[in-house]
Structure 1
Amino acid sequence: MTEASVVPERIDTPQEARAAISARGAAVAQGLHTEEDALAFAAEVLGDKRIRLGRQFEASMRNHQREAAVVDAQPVDERGRKRSFGKPGERMTAHNDGFAFGDYAPDHLFLWCKRPAESGGDSFLVDAWKLTELLAADPATADLAEFCRTVDIDHSEPNFAQSTYAPIVRVVPSGRVQARYHPYLAPVPGSTRPADADMLARWNDTVLHVRDTGPMFRAEAGEMICVDNYRLLHGRDGYTDPARELYSIWGWTTDAVAVPVQQLDIVEPDLAGLTG
């Protein structure tokens, strides 16, 4: 299943980035020495399809500690699920950015590296769509692929319910493919399908296996990882360098299922404010 891991090629122009994202889901842009450079490059990648683009959050140890403290104080939900931002020294769970917001998650993600960690913090990418194709090709796992494609599940985070449900894998109205994972996936409330929880556990184990056995790569200062956030999962290895600094930039295009009217808050997701 490690064939679903992606190590993106390094490119120089927005046109090359767009082509690489279309072909493999990601690219690494070089020579972006300021956040303004990064935003301008991302805008050109999205081109005429761009609707919304902007910095979402600062991925640094100081910001992580501040936000994690708020999340740690949030209660366990009625299913026993508890939100956690983890610890910088731990390998991050694979995920699509903005998963708390369901259909309003960005369809593009840009991770601009201002300063890498002295050691650790390397990135990984998993093509979740390709992963389900590999599962479908193996008789031993074809049932899991079918589940991912056909059964509605709850994509919400603990205590922040979403109003709609959908399969893990789908083709969105624009024709783009979407395949999702995060650690809080759950059966739809009131589901009468007893096997759903077992299937979700298998999907969880499969994603973790690919994350932990696939290759990683390093983004250097002035480089930006450009990602199809619908198709690819991402994350980074643990690090301890307090000077590491990376910025997450979210982009929505005309291909997106839905576009929020305001900046989203990942610490306390305001799902009621998505449409104003």
Structure 2
Amino acid sequence: MIVQRVPVLAPSARQTLHDAGAVILTGLPNSPDSLPVASALLFGTSLRELYPHRTRRSVDGGIVGLHADSFDVVVDIAGKPVRRRHPDEDHVLVLLASQAPYGGQSFVLDAHEFTDSLDAELKDFLTGTDVDLYGRWAQTRGLPATPRVGRHIEYTRTGRRITRRTDGVVPLHRDPDAERVTALLARFDAEVDRVQRTLPRIRLDEGELLVLDNYRCWHGRDAHTGSRTVHIQTVRTDNA
């Protein structure tokens, strides 16, 4: 998937994101403060929730495969439950703070188009089978003990499609169909790995900001040598 670069103040930035599902914004300071600024410019009054930004620094990092950003994290702050992440964050913003000396190129996939191209058995599985979306991470601090049950492809009450991708998926606890679900998850992973190898690579410049419709597009990055740093923020809009 080719992602278009657009100046952050250009009137076309919001429309490009809407039409293509992804856009690279230019012209912002190389600072994590640019994340909420870009969110406000892109989404305006439709912006509903802005989750805490996180900085990711990796040294000689391995490949990060195609995924949609989602996580279900609620923490206790002074006796009050506070949601730090949401399983259905509908947009993600990634600002490249420092580029690795070698590697680290990004790649993006239109997940709606990709999953529509799969064979009938896999499509039926993705749309018709409940799974535990984060069961593999059940012991991670902050994650709820209650399984997060959902399907890879679902629709919001307003008809917006969500195509999920997480490496935390497992069959439901004591699912009598667990063997078949595990086999189909493995087939799905193989198809994702196959298409990932064919995607065009995007080398972001430092300070550029990749914005994605998190319901429609998956993203990842290649392995790299040396240090690489990004700032990430997920948001929810009133379309979520």
Kept after mapping to 2: 8 A contact 1:31/1:223: yes
Q: Which digits, 9 at most, give the CA deviation of each residue in 1:118-177, with x for residues without a partner?
A: 221110112222111111xxxxx1110111011111101422444441110111123221
* Alignment counterpart, residue 115 of structure 1, candidates 71, 85, 98: 98
Letter in 2 for 1:113: L
Residue in structure 1 matched with residue 130 of structure 2 by the alignment: 152
Q: Identity over aligned residues, as a percent?
A: 26
Counterparts of 1:240 and 1:55 in 2: how far apart (Å)?
28
Higher helix share: 1
Query: Counterparts of 1:178-193 in structure 2 under 5 Å?
Result: 178-193=162-177
Kept after mapping to 2: 8 A contact 1:107/1:252: yes
Kept after mapping to 1: 8 A contact 2:107/2:221: yes
Kept after mapping to 2: 8 A contact 1:100/1:155: no
**CA drift at 1:100:** 4.4
Counterparts of 2:198 and 2:18 in 1: how far apart (Å)?
25
Residue in structure 1 matched with residue 27 of structure 2 by the alignment: 31
Kept after mapping to 2: 8 A contact 1:43/1:50: yes
**Structure 1: 5+ residue stretches without partners:** 1-5, 63-87, 136-140, 257-276
Higher strand share: 2
Counterparts of 2:95 and 2:229 in 1: how far apart (Å)?
9
Counterparts of 2:149 and 2:110 in 1: how far apart (Å)?
22
* Alignment counterpart, residue 66 of structure 2, candidates 94, 107, 130: 94
**CA drift at 1:115:** 2.0
Return structure 1 stretches of 4+ with deviation > 6 angstroms. none
- The reply on whether 1:51 has 2:34 as its aligned counterpart is no
Query: Counterparts of 1:1-276 in structure 2 under 5 Å?
Result: 6-13=1-8, 15-35=11-31, 36-61=33-58, 88-101=60-73, 104-135=87-118, 141-156=119-134, 157-159=136-138, 160=143, 161-193=145-177, 194-242=179-227, 244-256=228-240
**CA drift at 1:40:** 0.9
SS at match of 1:211: helix
Counterparts of 2:71 and 2:215 in 1: how far apart (Å)?
10
**CA drift at 1:111:** 0.5
**Coordinate RMSD, CA, aligned:** 2.0
Kept after mapping to 1: 8 A contact 2:111/2:163: yes
Q: 1:61 to 1:7 in 2, by over 3 A?
A: same
Query: How does the TM-score come out when normalised to structure 2?
Result: 0.84
Q: 1:89 to 1:103 in 2, by over 3 A?
A: closer
Kept after mapping to 2: 8 A contact 1:21/1:226: yes
Letter in 2 for 1:146: D
Query: How does the TM-score come out when normalised to structure 1?
Result: 0.73
**Structure 2: 5+ residue stretches without partners:** 74-84
